[in-house]
Amino acid sequence: MIVDLSGRHVIVTGGTGALGTAVVRTFVSSGATCTVPYVLEDEAQHFPLGAQKQVTLLKVSDLADEAEVSKLYATVKSTAPLWASIHLAGGFAAGKVAETDKKTLMTQIDNNFISCFICCRAAIQAMLAAGQGGRIVNVAARPALEWRSGAGMAAYTAAKTGVAALTVALAEEVAKDGILVNAVAPSIMDTPANRKAMPKANFDAWPQVEEVAATIAFLASPDNRVTRGAIVPVYGKT
């Protein structure tokens, strides 16, 4: 499905990663203007869409920091009304509960849940100020829907489950304001990093990042008029 995002301003956190690159490319090809915050200089330097006139890269230090996120969204709001905020930023760590210390747990919660919550809050504030509605799309994960599959990665599973619950609760809060909030829940995606980590896996069964990006683009588009509070599985053939 081809969506039209012409004239729409979108923030994509985690936009310099594998999925993020596919999302930004899809949004740009649909006419959107994208602000892409980044933490790592190396990712920004190698970001293939950095030279696009519709893309603005902004340096941030921590998306789990309230002041930093407020500054980011204030900068975007000053240039154009915010239509959509896509929250891909996060991190993964495997580990059994018996082997996971508090520092590792809190890192997973900060990177996956706290960053999502704070960015959602800043996005909602910007959209309410503009008074034109908007869209938010978060990224949960398959274990957020299928908890037993989170064995061996309980900290990550708990954090992503928080993202899913936040998505549904927030969707109810802001539906009356014309802001639709949803999430996608990918299984293992076909990325270079995942192929390297699991060289014997059946790559053909994994969802392509472009396919996940297409789902996100629809949920973030004006064409989505009724879907809210959904955690959409994007599992491929697995």
- Just list the catalytic residues: 156
Residues 6+ apart with CB under 8 A from 114: 64
Task: Enumerate the H helices of the chain as residue ranges.
Answer: 18-29, 41-45, 66-79, 102-108, 115-130, 142-145, 154-174, 192-197, 209-220
CA dihedral 66, 37, 54, 25 (to 10 degrees): -120
C-alpha–C-alpha distance, residues 4 and 218, integer Å: 9
Determine the straight-line distance between the first and last CA of the chain, rounded to whole angstroms: 23
Nearest to 14 by CA among 47, 31, 37, 46: 37
d(CA 172, CA 181) in angstroms, rounded, equals: 8
Length of the chain: 238
Q: What residues does 234 pair with on adjacent strands?
A: 186
Q: Which residues contact 86 (CB under 8 A, 6 or more apart)?
A: 10, 11, 12, 13, 15, 23, 136, 137, 216, 220
